[in-house]
Chain A
Amino acid sequence: MKRAVMINSKDNTATTFDDIEAGDMVSLASKSGQVGEITARQAVPFGHKLALATIGRGEKVLKYGEVIGLATQPINKGDYVHIHNVESALLPPPKEVK
């Protein structure tokens, strides 16, 4: 099975350890071992991020147990999370996304 890692238990994203295709079942590991499985709704390249929960527009995106940015559009569980739907929280407010 394809693999992804949830680095901190607070995280709403996991980092993939394989290239993932839409529809793949992904086994989810944490520091304490296997924590479950998730179905990818979209393709996620190796090392990129998979949403572990629904994240509303403007809500915090978490990795390492810390905020890595804000969602610029609604993100569903199993979605690919990257620059198309997240922006730094330290920058000027995210641009309007149609």
Chain B
Amino acid sequence: MEFLGYERPDGSVGVRNYVAVISSGRCANEMAATIADAVKGAVPILHTYPCVHLKEDNERALRTLIGLGSNPNVAAAIVVGVGCENPPPLEIGEGIAKSKKPVEVLTVMGSKNFQDLLDKGLAIARSMVSQASQMQRKPFALSYLTLGVKCGASNATSGIVGNPVTGRVFDRLIAEGGSAIFSETTEVVGATHLLAKRAVNKEVARRLEAAVDRMEARIKATGDDIRGSQPTRGNIEGGLTTIEEKSLGAFAKTGTSPLQGVLEYAERPQGKGLFFMDGSAMTGELIGGEAAAGIQIHIYNLGGGLTSSFRCLPGWAGGLPILPEIVVVSNPSKPRDSQEKECFDIYADTIIEGKESVDQVADRLFQEIIAVASGKLTKQEMRSGYRELLVMYTTGPIL
């Protein structure tokens, strides 16, 4: 099986063809947005990261922004900064340049004034978009695809419907030579023993356990426990009683493939297959980290918990403009509304209704992934207006 994608100089294949205008620090967000909004085909990457973090967080932020610019869905990138911020704009640009795609860095400190930066930025963006618009999609094997996943609004149907469906799709893509990344370290708590058994070697199992231990230690250091936060109030309303129950349901989304590796947040996997990424369960953070690791399509599995009543709002589901997101719903929350099917790419409630099997829905999702990889717009991509700011995973204090 094949999809139609855009070949990149580093050998990766994009399913979208954007010029990304990346803000290097939150002070530069408005400049990046002003440039991207004025040029069709350019999209801004805006975030909330401030300078006032410690080294480990700064390094992770740098890796994240380099990863986003290097993502296969990006044809070319412009890094826009003030010039004094952390991560430094030039280092972001140098990192992206390793992917051999066109990249330019613009800073206020390196320009005559703010207007001068905007003028240069607009000219570069138009030129990059013009170049990108001449690229053609070509057929590629599914082995060039890397999927990411997040389950949200989890309720009891997530572990029976949406997550097993995603697990089968992951298995099928990995059997075709592709890759998949899952994350949410807190949701490995209670299922670590099952995942560790699937690790390809002892070192991978050890790194998985270390990531979970680290998260648990961070929670304990606050003097609190996970109760009251995980499972969330919405999860409890949806029938999930404990973190173990939530994790075991979430675990189904990993399928049955061997665990090839454990990634740091925003780290690109080496090799193919199934990978775990250390990180939080916060949607925006998770999507940013997986996109920086190079996923081209994200699957968002909704249960039917309380928060899924926000389902028609694109920002809620992460909303990173370089990344198409396929939303799967396991169970519509009540009261049922006639518009709700309009919000989802894959309606999986048919499993609870007894009309379709998990395999049948997995087949529909697999076909949808190939279609979206070849250019079909997702429901979220067809909405416009509100834009969510990316939040990066941090473990240290804001000073």
Which secondary structure characterizes the binding site on chain B?
A: loop
Most buried by A among B155, B191, B238, B239: B239
Contacts of A5 in B (CB 8 A): 160
Is there an interface contact between B157 and A47, defined as CB atoms closer than 8 Å? Answer: yes
Residues on the B chain within 8 Å of A17, using CB? 352
Q: Are B242 and A15 in contact (CB under 8 A)?
A: no
Known A-B contacts A47-B155, A47-B304, A88-B227; A67 and B244 likewise in contact (beta carbons under 8 Å): yes
Interface size on B, residues (CB 8 A): 25
Which residues of B have CB within 8 Å of A61? Answer: 241
Chain B residues with CB under 8 A of A90: 189-190, 226, 242-244
Tell me the complex Cα distance, A46–B336, Å: 14
A97–B287 alpha-carbon span in the complex (Å): 41
Docked-complex contact B239 and A69, CB < 8 angstroms: no
Residues of chain B lying within 8 A (CB to CB) of residue A47: 155-157, 238-239, 304, 331
Of A46, A47, A61, A82, the most chain B CB neighbours within 10 A belong to A47
Contact between B244 and A88, CB atoms less than 8 A apart: yes
Asked if B242 and A7 sit within 8 Å, CB to CB, the answer is no
Residue interface mask A55-80, B partner, CB < 8 A = 1 = 00000010110111100000000000
| Residues of B114-171 whose CB lies within 8 A of A | 155-157, 159-160
| Alpha-carbon distance between A72 and B62 when the two chains are bound, in angstroms | 47
Q: Are A69 and B352 closer than 8 Å at their CB atoms? A: no
Assuming the contacts A63-B248, A66-B248, A91-B226, asked whether A48 and B239 have C-beta atoms less than 8 A apart, the reply is yes
Does A64 contact B241, Cβ atoms closer than 8 Å? no
Asked whether B342 is an interface residue with its Cβ less than 8 Å from the other chain, the reply is no
What are 8 A-B interface contacts by the 8 Å CB criterion?
Answer: A47-B304, A66-B190, A68-B190, A68-B244, A68-B245, A69-B244, A69-B245, A90-B242
Q: Can you add 11 more A-B contacts, CB < 8 Å, to A47-B155, A86-B241, A88-B242?
A: A5-B160, A47-B238, A48-B156, A49-B241, A63-B245, A64-B248, A66-B190, A67-B244, A69-B241, A83-B241, A88-B227
